């Protein structure tokens, strides 16, 4: 998709014709996003397989699937799509409906590092999620079988010997890091 130099709004972005590609709206400009690899999808799914039932059974909020967009900023509009996101129920209840893109970041974000991702680009996304209000940003790195947990308090790197938890964001939820990569 070619840009005309005019910045696009989120409302315009959602109406662009489907050309078979995925896009995010980065500071008003549509940017093509590569399709996820099979393994990328598997790692994200393994987290969803444990997170979603826990969230549902405890009525904590939603883990929306099918790659929903989150409006991280306006003027210019900025829409990102996490690999996995969790939004607390009280935020959903307080949101003005209807909406196409949820306003603000998910409370918990998971990003899986793809084979072609540059670490600097991943770091930019982590910063954007945190700046937009995410409490936890979990980066799954298949290249070295680690998980980095980012929050306003810093970063913690986990190995396959460790347990990933939702902390105060999804209290009581946890899973073995080894289970993500097995």
**Per-residue pLDDT tens for 87-96?**
999 999 999 8
Q: What are phi and psi of 55, to 5 degrees?
A: -60, -45
Cα distances (angstroms) measured from residue 16 to each of 41, 82, 125: 25, 20, 23
CB of 150 closer than 8 Å to CB of 130: yes
What is the per-residue pLDDT across 146-176, written as a single tens digit (0 to 9) for each?
A: 999 999 999 999 999 999 999 999 999 999 9
Asked whether the predicted pLDDT for residue 101 surpasses 60, the reply is: yes
CB of 155 closer than 8 Å to CB of 127: no
Whole-model pTM? Answer: 0.92
Give all domains of the chain, ordered by start, each with its CATH number. Answer: 36-67+82-181 (3.90.1570.10)
Bin 90: left if φ > 0, else alpha if -120 < ψ < 50, else beta.
Answer: alpha
């Amino acid at each position: 998709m070619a840009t005309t130099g005019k910045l696009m709004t989120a409302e315009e972005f959602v109406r662009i014709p489907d050309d078979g590609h995925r896009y995010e709206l980065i500071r008003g400009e549509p940017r093509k996003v590569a399709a996820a690899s099979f393994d990328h999808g598997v790692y994200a799914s393994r987290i969803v397989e444990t997170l979603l039932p826990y969230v549902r059974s405890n009525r904590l909020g939603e883990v929306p699937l099918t790659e929903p967009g989150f409006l991280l900023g306006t003027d210019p509009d900025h829409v990102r799509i996490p690999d996995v996101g969790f939004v607390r129920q009280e935020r959903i209840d307080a949101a003005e409906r209807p909406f196409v893109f949820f306003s603000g970041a998910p409370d918990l974000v998971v990003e899986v590092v793809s084979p072609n991702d540059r670490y600097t680009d991943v770091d930019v996304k982590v910063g954007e999620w945190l700046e937009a209000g995410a409490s936890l940003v979990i980066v799954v790195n298949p290249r070295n079988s680690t998980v980095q947990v980012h929050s306003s308090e810093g970063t913690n790197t986990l190995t396959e010997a460790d347990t990933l938890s939702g902390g105060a964001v999804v209290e009581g939820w946890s899973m073995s890091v080894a289970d993500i990569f097995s």
